[in-house]
Amino acid sequence: MTGLSPQVTLDEIREEVADLETPEERIGYLIELGQSLPDLPKELQTETYRVQGCQSAVWVVPEIHSESIEFLGSSDAPMVRGLVAILLAAYSGKSPQAILDLPIAEVFQELQLQSFLTPMRSNGLHSMVQRIQSIARATLPIAEALAQSASTFSKASNPIGARGLPSLPRISIERCREDFPILQRLLPSGKPCVYLDNAASSQRPLEVIDCIRNVASEHYANVHRSGHDFAAQTTMAMEEARTVLCHFVGAHSTDEIIFTSGTTASINLVARSWGDANVRAGDEILLTEMEHHSNIVPWQQLAARTGAVIRWLNVREDFQLDIEQLEQVLSPRTKIVSVTAVSNVLGTINPVRSIVDAAHRVGAKVLVDAAQSVPHGNVDAQGWDADWIAFSGHKMLGPTGIGVLYGKRDLLEDTPPFLGGGNMISSVSREGFVPAGLPHRFEAGTAPILEAIAMKPAVEYLQRVGFQEIMAHERKLAARAIEELSSIPRLRLLCPSSPEGPSSPEHKTGIVSFVVDGMHSDQIGQYLNAAGIAIRVGHHCAMPLHARFGIGVSCRASFYFYNTMDEVEQFIEAVSRAVR
């Protein structure tokens, strides 16, 4: 492959373009430039190297050296070949860091590309840039990769904070409630609602609400398809959200970030696509007793289809996983371990990395249900080494109907797509189809576009508050609630304990669940609702966990960073009155 790179340099392109006056002359030059591009060998014109998001077929092929990356590229469209030639002249032969640092938007502005390119071509050009940058990012050490900007395609550059997210102005815990319109709403009693059902769904700040409204009113269109301005802007916004989520979870590439309709859909995708292709009769699936139904039922369905066996990791009396049992239930027959990072009933924070390491030692894959973990920023694809991570937007300030599945690239590439239809294909004929590359092969049909775009301001808002601040505030509220609830007669807390004392908040998030002996939990929930306090009552989609402790339902208060100590006091007083 070495030596096939185009001979024309970026400086030579600048000189040629400087003498061109009309759009027609520039288009003619692009076609001539494309003709000078060396032919790409047919064996490299494959889906592995194809750039998704381009209307024409475009291939970009890297050759990675110790300190630089050489690129080959081509397209089946003459003018697009010229755009490929410009990108190769700009990027080929540079180090990964230099590729990411290159102000490519300034290069495009200098060449006046945007003045005569159609939106369709501009959209494809952006996709090519993203592809090249993702290759460069993947070759950097992880610590360096996460220090990159969410999008160097933009002219504006931001200093980078934790996990590669742009460093944004901070939001104090004390004033954040002003950003949530629903928290200002008064009940018929004249009091504001005390919203303590955040584990079910968080509320949304104005930035997320405004984002949805702005896209819908200014440039909404379908993505990755049409060539008009609206489509280009909307596609750009959606892919920028994917980039932010890539950095948020610590993925190597945006190709590893798949948009779904939620955690449930993400887990079902893995169970159906990877599970059906890899799990056979006699294989074992390991779950824990504290899983949400969405992380139980898809595996039960897989077991019914294949003849696999489900094994269980128990929950101890102190409401933590029996990790010592792990070596007993894992075996060479274990194909997959699917575990929650945080229990949606107990708030227990599980030792994900220890579970992943143990599973990998026997050759098993691991899926982590991070639905209750992402609201606190506790997601780390590289630190966990998980094979898949699933989560939803509506628990982390984002909209409903949007979720994310992170998967290791090699696994995703070897997994057949589950849903078939538009957008997930490269080509279709009467004889069959060829699936698209990542991540689009798993995104059949029209995506939840507005919802996906709004994930960007949701993540950015959480970052501005600060993940450490969020967890510290939650634990402060939970500690107060646990302390006071512990003194109420007949009330039993469902919280993990530690050497520091019973029901220590250090092993959990801001979830506080409880039951009252001799009293149905629904009575307590209705009493609190009448007092303007919203909690959750039920089995919380975790019936096996409730059965483990001999209870049918429980009460759950779940605190978040916009809750206050005054709300905790109102909650405690209302529970005390209800029990009395």
Q: Which residues are catalytic?
A: 541
Listed residue (451, 326, 450, 471) closest to 394, CA to CA: 451
Tokens of 296: 């139980």
Say how many C-beta atoms besides its own lie within 10 A of residue 292's C-beta: 21
β-bridge pairing 194-195 and 533-534: parallel
Contact between 516 and 579 under an 8 Å Cβ cutoff? The reply is yes
Tell me the β-bridge partners of 427. 434
> Please, what sign has the CA dihedral across residues 35, 36, 42, 43?
negative
Distance separating alpha carbons of residues 543 and 365, to the nearest angstrom: 25
Contact 240, 270 (CB under 8 A): no
Helix extents (H) in 57-205:
78-91, 96-101, 104-110, 119-139, 142-145
User: Does residue 499 have a cis bond before it (omega within 30 degrees)?
Assistant: no
> How far apart (Å, rounded) are the C-alpha atoms in residues 396 and 376?
8
The candidate with the shortest Cα–Cα distance to 513, out of 555, 563, 560, is 555
Q: Cα–Cα–Cα angle for 86, 435, 150, nearest 5°?
A: 50
Tokens 């959750």 found at: 536
Q: HEC states along 420-444?
A: CCCCCEEEECCCCEEECCCCHHHCC
Amino acid at 419: L
**Other CB atoms within 10 A of residue 272 CB:** 19
